[in-house]
Amino acid sequence: MKLPVNEFELIARLTPGLPRNATVITGAGDDCAVLDLGLPERWVLFKTDAVVEGVHFDATARPEQIGHKALARPLSDIAAMAGEPSSALVTLALPVRFDVAFVEKVYAGLNTLAARHGVAVVGGETTANPERLLLSVAVLGFVARDRAVRRAGAQPGDALFVTGELGGSRAGRHLDFEPRLAEARWLAEHFPIHAMIDLSDGLAGDLRHLLAAGGVGAELRAESIPISRAARQLARAGHAGGSALHAALSDGEDFELLFCVAAQDAVRLRDAWHERFPSVRLTCIGRITAEPGLRLRDRRGLHYLTLHGYVHFAQS
């Protein structure tokens, strides 16, 4: 699932030159673009995302799963802003000799997910991509005006929460995860969520985006990180590229929600969540700090963390 080298650097170079207009509330750099199209009570969310054969899925994926994932990814970005998806367009780039029944199954998976979340599939386009299947899905959604939850907004002292369990998504979950739309809307409706992001690049990587957007740092508690069963199994079998904790910190495509709230809201939020979503784990994994950087506290002390693991001992 690795993207081209320098992707983030490339985006940083391209973003300042992008044209804007009066509709743009939030342009490039958040989970979705936020647009004020003149609706009295709502902003519009706009997002596009692609899945590519051999990059985001392989030959073992069923076509229904490919269609599901192609739509579920941008829906997860709509969730990350506490939005409600409304419609989608599908661009299907196909090898020249394609199997119609296969494509119908791709759409069946996509349509089932769309229908479950009230999303209209309002068109699409078919083009050629000779070597491999690529699906690009564009999604429109809504969020209450002034209520989009952004990456920026984390405050020192905030409690940091994550939904679900992390790591090992490539064992299967990346193909059939359900975007956390209902959970995110419930959170934003009931609590002042300071910042939120969905986990696509791994906890450590996406947390860094949230910290950079807010100009803050964070301290995680190692024993609180919710490690998935798949990550533990891969680690035991020697397929996780390190420990299960390392997998939970760095594996991509969890598509869980990472968010922060003021510390005084944390216990009330956790209790209300368990009442409302008893089957979805919610874990407080640490706190936001004024000091920049990402640190992990374990039994041996406090360590600075990079995308690839521990860097150096920080303090005891």
CB of 49 to its own copies, least distance (A): 6
# binding residues, its own copies (CB under 8 A): 79
Q: Per CB under 8 A, does 80 bind its own copies?
A: no
Among 103, 213, 222, 263, binds its own copies (CB under 8 A): 103
Subset of residues 8 to 67 that bind its own copies, contact rule: CB under 8 A: 9-11, 13-14, 17-21, 23-24, 26-30, 32-33, 35, 37-39, 42, 44, 46-50, 52, 54-56
Nearer to its own copies, 132 or 308 (CB): 132
Helix, strand, coil % (nearest 5) of the chain?
35, 30, 35
248 touches 230 (CB < 8 A): no
Subset of residues 249 to 288 that bind its own copies, contact rule: CB under 8 A: none
Gap between the terminal Cα atoms of the chain: 35
| Chain position carrying tokens 């947390």 | 207
Bridge partners (DSSP) of residue 93 are 127, 134
Of 102-110, 264-272, 284-292, 295-303, which part binds its own copies (CB under 8 A)? Answer: 102-110
CB of 47 to its own copies, least distance (A): 7
Q: Per CB under 8 A, does 125 bind its own copies?
A: yes
Locate 224 and state its tokens: 């609180």
Is 171 exposed, middle or buried (CB count within 10 Å of its CB: 0-12, 13-18, 19+)? middle
Locate 4 and state its tokens: 């081209």
CB of 123 to its own copies, least distance (A): 4
DSSP 128-166: E-TTS-EEEEEEEEEEETT----S----TT-EEEEES-B
Among 75, 76, 84, 91, binds its own copies (CB under 8 A): 91
Subset of residues 127 to 166 that bind its own copies, contact rule: CB under 8 A: 127-132, 134, 136, 138, 140, 142
Among 65, 76, 111, 250, binds its own copies (CB under 8 A): 111
Bridge partners (DSSP) of residue 314 are none
Among 57, 107, 161, 273, binds its own copies (CB under 8 A): 107
